[in-house]
Amino acid sequence: MQEGLNNTASETPLLKLENISKRFPGVSALYRVDFDLREGEVHVLFGENGAGKSTLINIVAGALRPTAGRILYRGKEMYFPNVHSARKIGVHAVFQEFSLIPQLTVTQNLFLGVEKGRYGFLEKKKMHQQAQEILDRLGFELDPRKKIIYLTRAEQQMVEIAKVFGADLSVLILDEPTASLTEKETERLFALIAQARNNNVGIIYITHRMGELKRISDRITILRDGHYIATVKTDNVTDNELVELMTGRVIDQIFPTIEYNPTETILSVHDITTADNSVNNVSVEFKKGEIVGMAGLVGSGKSKVMRACFGIEDIKSGKIIFEGNELTHVTPAKMLDMGMFYIPPDRRNEGLVMMRNVRENITLAALPLLKLSLYSMFLKRKNERELALDLSQRLNLQPLKTERSVDLFSGGNQQKALLAKVLTRNTKLFIFDEPTVGVDVGTRVAIYEFLAELCQQGAAIVLISSDLPEILNLTNRAYVFYRGYLRAELRDEEITEQNVLFHFFEQEAA
Ligand SMILES: Nc1ncnc2c1ncn2[C@@H]1O[C@H](COP(=O)(O)OP(=O)(O)OP(=O)(O)O)[C@@H](O)[C@H]1O
Ligand SMILES: [Mg+2]
């Protein structure tokens, strides 16, 4: 901890932002926003995708310069030309998009950016030891000698968190830190946050998850379209009030009423085991006109089963039958042709080409189809444009600029671009893997309605989700997985929180 932090119960906030504005070419991301952070509080930033949350914390952390406005730290005006200058006074951030260097080890990444000389004399072994100590203290099971490229997204997230908790903290910023963590890791993180809070650290926390926000925050500041809306005490506000402040409208029903009409089986999987044994002897089947949930903890195999069906996970044994035909060699290209579409959760690594614009990303999967069209080049292009615009509009892409490069959009809006891709093909079976990660409540409603519509039109839908309310409210049948095994199949009224959770945590795999 920094000196003098513990007994300064002063009136001056730890951090105060006044009239902060930020303009990007063609977009006003923040307009005259005020914000203050006290010592020892968890202050949540809440707002729809693209509201300006990440932009604001990037300014506080020195990663972006404001176009106008002042930053006061303990009453003194500060200017952060870069991340390093903010770190010097104890302002550290875990950003939404990671900043690790993939080719380096966990240890090297942990000590990166630490002033030269301080660790310069340490040999490798000692550094690994220190890294191990940090990880142990945080309760993260990670090998410090491993290179970042070999880590899962959740593990990379842990390294990011370890980086900041290893530092002298005065302001801690976390941008959707739990998006890829398991329950256990999330609990660890919350304990660490509580500890930092007791040490008078001020914490800015961004999340779209209501439960989480209610649990850990003291105050909430709501942003909408780059504008400051309100700051409220967490104890004094209801979920509905929060959603209304965030969206500016009343949302009375988050989950739609869906009419399921299961007809013929489109995909059946018999006794499959993946090459890495992460899935063992699993048999499942899916029918047109239904939404089937795949539930279970991270690593339970719920996602891998479907990835295997799409040809991105190797299979050791078992049978896959699609529309009555047994498939011998499964590849994504072949499955796309046959009418199956898998929408991955990791938009950055698997889903989108970040440097291309939204139109290109949306129509990429449809290219083989467009080529078949008899229209001239010119017309084709026009269709592509219209198609992209249409779909973006439907999913409420913000801003609605399809010629804009994907990496310039906020996290949640990138997710919308990924979903729009799905609609370009004639698809019979949709596999959605965590479709609402990082997506705000308003857009969730749009995505849920979209799933309902697809189902009612007779498509088969598989919904892989770690969000229990989604499984409970959107599916007519659910498979629950535990450590690579199928544990249960639940139908209609059987799909209750109690039933699903019971199988999540069942102790012994048969
Ligand atoms: N580098 C950039 N260049 C241009 N525009 C940007 C850039 N970064 C962000 N924006 C725009 O600024 C606005 C605010 O984005 P920001 O990332 O702060 O949103 P957010 O509230 O964090 O959203 P999410 O919940 O989706 O992460 C968006 O309209 C976004 O497209
Ligand atoms: Mg963001």
The rounded Å distance from CA 210 to ligand 1 centre is: 21
* Cβ–Cβ under 8 Å, residues 395 and 420: yes
The predicted pLDDT at position 436 comes to: 86
The predicted pLDDT at position 380 comes to: 55
For the chain, how many residues are written? 510
Task: Tell me the two tokens of residue 176.
Answer: 């959707």
Q: What is the pLDDT of residues 165-179, one digit of tens each?
A: 877 899 999 998 887
| pLDDT greater than 70 at residue 69 | yes
Q: What is the pLDDT of residues 211-239, one digit of tens each?
A: 889 999 999 999 998 999 999 999 999 98
| Mean local confidence (pLDDT), 138-142 | 85
Of 269-273, 332-336, 392-396, 479-483, the range with the lowest mean pLDDT is: 392-396
User: Rounded distance, CA 211 to CA 450, Å?
Assistant: 24
Provide, rounded to the nearest whole percent, the portion of the chain with pLDDT above 90: 50
| Mean local confidence (pLDDT), 369-392 | 62
Residues 6+ apart with CB under 8 A from 159: 100, 106, 109, 110, 142, 148, 151
The predicted pLDDT at position 343 comes to: 87
Domain 15-247: CATH architecture, name and number where available: 3-Layer(aba) Sandwich (3.40)
Helix (H, G, I), strand (E, B) or coil at 363: helix
| pLDDT greater than 70 at residue 62 | yes
Provide, rounded to the nearest whole percent, the portion of the chain with pLDDT above 70: 91
The predicted pLDDT at position 120 comes to: 55
Of 87-91, 152-156, 212-216, 494-498, the range with the lowest mean pLDDT is: 152-156
Q: Whose CA is nearest to atom 19 of ligand 1?
A: 50
User: Rounded distance, CA 207 to CA 213, Å?
Assistant: 7
| pLDDT greater than 50 at residue 510 | no
pTM: 0.72
- DSSP character at residue 465: -
| pLDDT greater than 70 at residue 38 | yes
| pLDDT greater than 70 at residue 46 | yes
Peptide bond into 25 cis (omega under 30): no
Site residues for ligand 1, CB cut-off 6 Å = 24, 27, 29, 47, 49-55, 96, 399, 408-413, 440
Indicate the average pLDDT of the chain: 86
More confident residue, 251 or 378: 251
| Mean local confidence (pLDDT), 430-437 | 90
| pLDDT greater than 50 at residue 248 | yes
Tally of helices (H runs) and strands (E runs) in the chain: 17, 20
The rounded Å distance from CA 50 to ligand 2 centre is: 7
User: Rounded distance, CA 439 to CA 460, Å?
Assistant: 23
Residues 6+ apart with CB under 8 A from 29: 22, 23, 52, 55, 226
Atom of ligand 1 nearest to the CA of 414: 26
User: Of 64-73, 132-141, 352-361, which one has max mean pLDDT?
Assistant: 64-73
Helix (H, G, I), strand (E, B) or coil at 141: coil
Task: Tell me the two tokens of residue 447.
Answer: 């995505």
Rg (CA), the chain: 24
Helix (H, G, I), strand (E, B) or coil at 70: strand
Ligand 1 mutation target, pool 21, 22, 23, 24, most atoms within 8 A of CB? 24
Q: Whose CA is nearest to atom 18 of ligand 1?
A: 52
Please calculate the CA angle 474-479-485 and round it to the nearest 5 degrees.
Answer: 150
| pLDDT greater than 70 at residue 119 | no
Question: Could you tell me the pLDDT band of residue 9, with boundaries at 50, 70 and 90?
Answer: very low
The predicted pLDDT at position 121 comes to: 56
The predicted pLDDT at position 508 comes to: 43
The predicted pLDDT at position 1 comes to: 36
Atom of ligand 1 nearest to the CA of 64: 1
| pLDDT greater than 90 at residue 329 | no
Alpha helices in 139-216 (DSSP H): 153-165, 183-198, 210-216
The rounded Å distance from CA 23 to ligand 1 centre is: 10
Question: Could you tell me the pLDDT band of residue 36, with boundaries at 50, 70 and 90?
Answer: very high
The rounded Å distance from CA 410 to ligand 2 centre is: 5
* Cβ–Cβ under 8 Å, residues 219 and 13: no
The predicted pLDDT at position 379 comes to: 46
The rounded Å distance from CA 410 to ligand 1 centre is: 4
Q: What is the pLDDT of residues 468-493, one digit of tens each?
A: 889 999 999 999 999 899 999 999 99
| Mean local confidence (pLDDT), 424-446 | 84
| Mean local confidence (pLDDT), 15-34 | 94
| pLDDT greater than 60 at residue 32 | yes
The predicted pLDDT at position 372 comes to: 38
> 373 burial class (0-12, 13-18, 19+ CB within 10 angstroms)?
exposed
The predicted pLDDT at position 168 comes to: 85
Residue ranges matching CATH 3.40.50.300 in the chain: 15-247, 259-339+428-510
CATH superfamily of 259-339+428-510: P-loop containing nucleotide triphosphate hydrolases (3.40.50.300)
| Mean local confidence (pLDDT), 119-129 | 72
| pLDDT greater than 60 at residue 298 | yes
